[in-house]
Chains A and B, each alone.
Chain A
Amino acid sequence: MKYMVLIAGPEDPPGSTSPERSAAYDRILRWWEEQSSSGKVIEGYELQPSLTATTVRRDEAGNVTVTDGPFVEAKEMVGGYAILDVADLDEAIALVSDWPSSATLEIRPLVRQD
């Protein structure tokens, strides 16, 4: 089954760097490489911080408004996503439980196109 994992967490302040942060980054890159080479993560990206987000709203009449910022303001912002290809939800939970940094991860099954 295919799932999308939305990876959310508190955002770092713009321009912040620290040894801990780059160590965490290295751990995440390693996780990503491992899971990709096993074929369980078939796609995914880290996103630019939420201050780069633009929200486009389209109402039923077709009117479009464009605003600055993400569509939900929250403490935890979506910072990346991955598409998984695994047997079932338990395997998806086990996989994202290994995410090597503190985060909140939402698992959503993809709608099958068949």
Chain B
Amino acid sequence: MSSEQRALIDARLAETVREERGRLVASLVRVLGDWEVAEELVQEALVTALETWPRDGLPRNPGAWLLTTARHRAIDRLRRDARYRERLGIIGEELRSMSSSWAETGGVLAQDDRLRLIFTCCHPALSREAQVALTLRTVAGLETPAVARAFLVPEATVAQRIVRAKRKIHDAGIPYRVPEAAELPARLEQVLAVLYLVFNEGYLASAGEAAERRDLAQDAAWLASLLVRLMPDEPEAIGLLALMRLHLARADSRFAADGSLVLLPDQDRGTWDRAAIAEAHALLERGLRMGRVGPYQLQAAIVACHATSPSYARTDWQEVVALYDRLLQLTPTPVVALNRALAVAELRGPAEALAALDPLASRLADYHLYHAARGLLLRRLGRVEEARATERRALSLTANPAERRLLEERLTAP
């Protein structure tokens, strides 16, 4: 086999793993009621695929091939396991109907159980760390070591979080289902928060960090797009996906060649992916037309203002401040108020922005970006000594190398 064929099979396998692995696991969890067994069966089928495909070539429908393989293994295994003996007939029938519906629809499972899987992974009875690890491992199919490297924690810690979470799902009776209408808004908020946390971990990682860490932003965007496919009428899910895509379309301009951070006013807008921005903007418009605005749609709308502006100077600050006002009403957090103040500085000048920051002083005393923002405003007002003092405070509060470099440059500037 040529190396090109080999590369094609590897790429196809990776694609299949991401799309079909979660789908298969989701359905097998439903049928078997056992996360551990479901994941092992899919893993075994993937290992078999890795051995067989490079030798025999790619099957016409890789997803159906994996399902059939997993099904044969499942039946073998269930026959040997006393726990399943009574239910073997029913389970075997369900597995067979999964396979045949797959074949009939040309590779699409009639029932996509991944929404159940997502909501169960992000159940509020699990810790946020467990929600994140379980979602990445089970829905996105990341290997445990990759999750560990991405979150800079030992592999054993991630493995333990996943094991404990699965045990709690089983022992505490967390149901495997999509929440009912009454619970849905609160539960969807949990899912969106998990995906946004994963995205930010990746997006805020600098160029020098592990590839797995930076890939998290892509993984989160893929998970958000999956969520939108499964719940096309949820405007906040659409808002989050648009927000992620608007950020990703401009990701290349955020770091200079030497790895240092480039802030919005200085970014090279020529490197922004205009087509991706237009597409994300259209997506956001579709969400906004549903008439249920929420924090993610508003954040995406703010980022869209920046992404579609020809230059920093020509940004529609009136619109940006208006959007921040609405965001602040929905989520009155000090960090939102801080970002709003920075937009106010562009619209109405640094003095007014500085006055807007004052009430936040006690709540953001340990937040480096509060002090960094104050420093910038003080400099614009010519109060350089005060600016230096507050920038030194900012420097003492962050360990991020790129942010430290930026602050040090400001401090050494005349």
Task: Tell me if A26 counts as interface (CB < 8 A to partner B).
Answer: no
In the complex, how many angstroms separate the beta carbon of B269 from the nearest chain A beta carbon?
48
Task: Tell me if B82 counts as interface (CB < 8 A to partner A).
Answer: no
In the complex, how many angstroms separate the beta carbon of A4 from the nearest chain B beta carbon?
12
Task: Give CA–CA (A89, B174) in the complex, Å.
Answer: 5
Which residues from chain A contact B172 at a C-beta distance below 8 Å? 89, 107, 109
Task: Tell me if B57 counts as interface (CB < 8 A to partner A).
Answer: no
Task: Tell me if A98 counts as interface (CB < 8 A to partner B).
Answer: no
A90–B171 contact, CB under 8 A?
no
Residue in B123, B172, B183 whose Cβ sees the most chain A Cβ within 10 Å: B172
Task: Tell me if A1 counts as interface (CB < 8 A to partner B).
Answer: yes
B175–A88 contact, CB under 8 A?
yes
Which residues from chain A contact B265 at a C-beta distance below 8 Å? none
* Chain A 49-108 residues near chain B, CB threshold 8 A: 87-90, 92-94, 107
Which residues from chain B contact A90 at a C-beta distance below 8 Å? 174-175, 177, 179, 183
**A interface secondary structure, majority:** mixed
Task: Tell me if B264 counts as interface (CB < 8 A to partner A).
Answer: no
Which residues from chain A contact B179 at a C-beta distance below 8 Å? 90
In the complex, how many angstroms separate the beta carbon of A77 from the nearest chain B beta carbon?
23
Task: Give CA–CA (A88, B116) in the complex, Å.
Answer: 15
Residue in A1, A3, A89, A109 whose Cβ sees the most chain B Cβ within 10 Å: A89
In the complex, how many angstroms separate the beta carbon of A92 from the nearest chain B beta carbon?
8
Which residues from chain B contact A3 at a C-beta distance below 8 Å? 173
Which residues from chain B contact A89 at a C-beta distance below 8 Å? 123, 125, 172-175
Q: Mark B173-217, 1 if CB is under 8 A from A, else 0.
A: 111010100010000000000000000000000000000000000
Task: Give CA–CA (A94, B180) in the complex, Å.
Answer: 11
A109–B171 contact, CB under 8 A?
yes
Which residues from chain A contact B125 at a C-beta distance below 8 Å? 89, 93
Q: Mark B109-126, 1 if CB is under 8 A from A, else 0.
A: 000000000000001010
- CB-based nearest A residue for B170: A109
In the complex, how many angstroms separate the beta carbon of B330 from the nearest chain A beta carbon?
23
Task: Give CA–CA (A92, B175) in the complex, Å.
Answer: 11
Which residues from chain B contact A109 at a C-beta distance below 8 Å? 171-173
Which residues from chain A contact B123 at a C-beta distance below 8 Å? 89
Which residues from chain A contact B175 at a C-beta distance below 8 Å? 87-90
In the complex, how many angstroms separate the beta carbon of A52 from the nearest chain B beta carbon?
31
- CB-based nearest B residue for A112: B171
In the complex, how many angstroms separate the beta carbon of A43 from the nearest chain B beta carbon?
18
In the complex, how many angstroms separate the beta carbon of A85 from the nearest chain B beta carbon?
12
Which residues from chain B contact A88 at a C-beta distance below 8 Å? 173-175
Task: Give CA–CA (A107, B125) in the complex, Å.
Answer: 10
In the complex, how many angstroms separate the beta carbon of B395 from the nearest chain A beta carbon?
39
Task: Give CA–CA (A63, B174) in the complex, Å.
Answer: 40
- CB-based nearest B residue for A2: B173
Task: Give CA–CA (A89, B183) in the complex, Å.
Answer: 13
In the complex, how many angstroms separate the beta carbon of B170 from the nearest chain A beta carbon?
10
- CB-based nearest B residue for A97: B183
Task: Give CA–CA (A88, B174) in the complex, Å.
Answer: 6
Q: What are 12 of the A-B contact pairs (CB < 8 Å)?
A: A1-B173, A87-B175, A88-B173, A88-B175, A89-B125, A89-B173, A89-B175, A90-B174, A90-B179, A93-B125, A94-B183, A107-B172
Known: A89-B125, A89-B173. 13 other contacts (CB 8 A): A1-B173, A3-B173, A88-B174, A88-B175, A89-B172, A89-B174, A90-B175, A90-B177, A90-B179, A94-B183, A107-B172, A109-B172, A109-B173
Sort A-B residue pairs by CB-CB distance and give the 4 closest, nearest first.
A88-B175, A1-B173, A88-B173, A89-B173
